[in-house]
Structure 1
Amino acid sequence: MGQVTIKVYKNTNEKLPKCYGKYYGKVLHRETLDTDDLANHIMSHGTLYTDDVVLGVTRKLMRCIAELLTEGYKVKLDGIGTLYLAATSTGSDTYEDFDISKNITRIGVKFTADQSNDSLYTARMMRKNTNLTTKIGNSKVTFGEQEGSGSGGNETPGGGAIEEEP
C-alpha cells in the first residue's frame, strides 16, 4: 500500500470569498520521476527484460503516442486513461473572420483517468490503496482508510493538526 503525504494550507486569496480563510489539503509530491526512473522501477519488480529493452519499449510508446495525437487520434491506455489534444482559442465575430494562426492560442495534451471498475486509477481505488499522512511540526501522523468517508476533497483528514503553507 502506498503512502501519500497531505500538506494542509490556509487559502489567503481574497479574490475567492467562498474559500478565503478555509483550510485545504493538497498532495505533497516527493519528486518527479523520468522515463529512466520508471524503467528502473519496472525492472525492480523482477522483469526478465534488461533496462535497454524496457527503456526502448517505453520510449517507442512515448513517440507513438505523440505521433497519434498529432494525427488527431485520442489514445486510450486501458486501465490508465485517455490522452488527447485540446485547443484554446479566442473568439471571432464571424466564421469568415476566424483565422487558425490568429485565434488558436494554445494546443495542449489533456488526460482523463480511466474510471472503469477494473482501473487502478479511480478515486475509489486510490483511496483504498493509499495511506494518507500529514506533517505536524517535525513528526508525521498517518491516517488509514476511513470507512464510509466520501471523496473528502477539502476535509482535514482525521482532525489532525494543521501546518499552514508558507
Structure 2
Amino acid sequence: MSCPYGEEDIFQLVEGELDPGRRRALRAHLRGCAACRERYERELMLSDSLRSLGRSELRETPSIACQVAMALPTRSGRARIMWTLFGAVLFALAVVALELRDVSLITAGMEVLGFSWGVASGLAGMLRIFFTAAGSFILLALAVGALIDLGIAAGWILFRRRRAREA
C-alpha cells in the first residue's frame, strides 16, 4: 500500500508547520498506518532529543553542516568521469577550431583579455560620469541623513535625561 504522505509531511507535523486541516488528516492516517506512525515516532524522538541538547552543547559539536553535506548523495564516479571527458573533448574541439582558423591560443587569449579590459575601462568611465553628475546630490542626501540622525539622537538623549530626573 502506498501512503499519500511522505517524510516531509511527517517532519512538518512534528515541527507544527502543517495547516489544521492537513494536520487532522495526517493524524487520522497515522492511526491506521503503522509505517507512517513509526516514522512519526522516530522523527518525534529525534526532534525532542535535539531540543533537549540546548544551544550551548550544539555550539561545542563539530560543524553539522559539513556532516550534512557529506551525507548528501553525489554523482556516481562514472558520471563524474563522463562529465570530465565531455569537458576535455569540448576543450580539444575549441583548440582545433582555433587552429583551423589559424588563430593561436595566445592570440585568442590576448583578444579576450583586450576585450575584457575594454569593458572594464568603459564601465569605469560610466561610473566616473555618474558619480560626477550625482555626487552633489549624494553628498546632500548624506548630509540631510546625518542631520536627521543627530536630531533623533538629541531627542533620545533629552528623553532619557527627563525620564532619569522623573525617576
Structure (1 or 2) with the greater strand fraction: 1
Q: Larger relative contact order (C-alpha < 8 A, sep ≥ 6)? A: 1
Greater Rg over alpha carbons, structure: 2
Shorter chain as normaliser: what TM range? under 0.3
**Structure 1 or 2: more helix by fraction:** 2
TM-score by length of 1: 0.24
